[in-house]
Amino acid sequence: MIRAILTRLQQRYRTLVYPTRTPVLPDRFRGLPRIERARCAADCAACVAVCPVQAITKDTNGIALDLGRCLFCGACETACAYHAVTFTREHRLAAGSRAGLRCTAQELPRVTALQGRMHALFGRSLKLRQVCAGGCNACEADINVLNTVVFDLGRFGIQFVAAPRHADGVLITGPVTANMRGALEKTWQAVPAPKLVIAVGACAISGGPYRDQVETHNGADTILPVDLYIPGCPPHPLTILDGLLQLLGKGGG
């Protein structure tokens, strides 16, 4: 017993004080892109050319970046000699609509918190069934991290459950491969109404690097109505947590 007490005193309090305070993120972390159209040269499209997933487009107004496709690889930032595209350390990336992920300036995507009956049902207790629809396990790993003592997802009333009939919604990762579509649809049908759908990661939002392949779908919203989009490849655990908290009206860091 004494040894257990001494160990506990040595380890101290390990859970993040989030969202009250945002912890220091790793030096290599890439967050919300900063788009400075005034810096973009009219005769340059280097960032468009190097993007592996065509997340960047350019028109007469300048460049725009689709966070739903972006892999946060940083190739565009490296290629741009004018520094029109840079990645900040802002971890809040979630949006309530697909259109809300289109980035044309340094503006945070918006998530509309649940209202009325939906907030009354899920605001204090949200049970999610996670479906890996062909993912590489990167997004899945960062979701699992939320259950550790460091993040302690349960303190916000959010839990992952084993059966869809016990869930309030479905959290999807992966590009929704052809052989997983049926399983995803059956899971969705088994969740009692009213229910939510959350797409996590570039693959679940847009197909990611597998976009337009015959074996996959271009995002979960081609099959199910998505209520929350959390971009990244993979999203940082804080990005996922912030999106969930914004949806529940509990605020982000």
Q: What whole-number distance in Å separates Cα of residue 253 and Cα of residue 251?
A: 7
Neighbour count for residue 164 (Cβ, 10 Å): 20
Is 116-247 assigned to CATH 3.40.50.12280? yes
pLDDT at 143: 97
Domain ranges of the chain: 116-247
Which parts of the chain sit beneath pLDDT 50? 253
Give which of 211, 213, 208, 123 is closest to 173, Cα–Cα.
208
Pairing relation of β-strands 33-35 and 85-87?
Answer: antiparallel
Convert the pLDDT of each residue in 182-205 to its tens digit: 999 999 999 999 999 999 999 999
Convert the pLDDT of each residue in 137-147 to its tens digit: 999 999 999 99
pTM of the model: 0.93
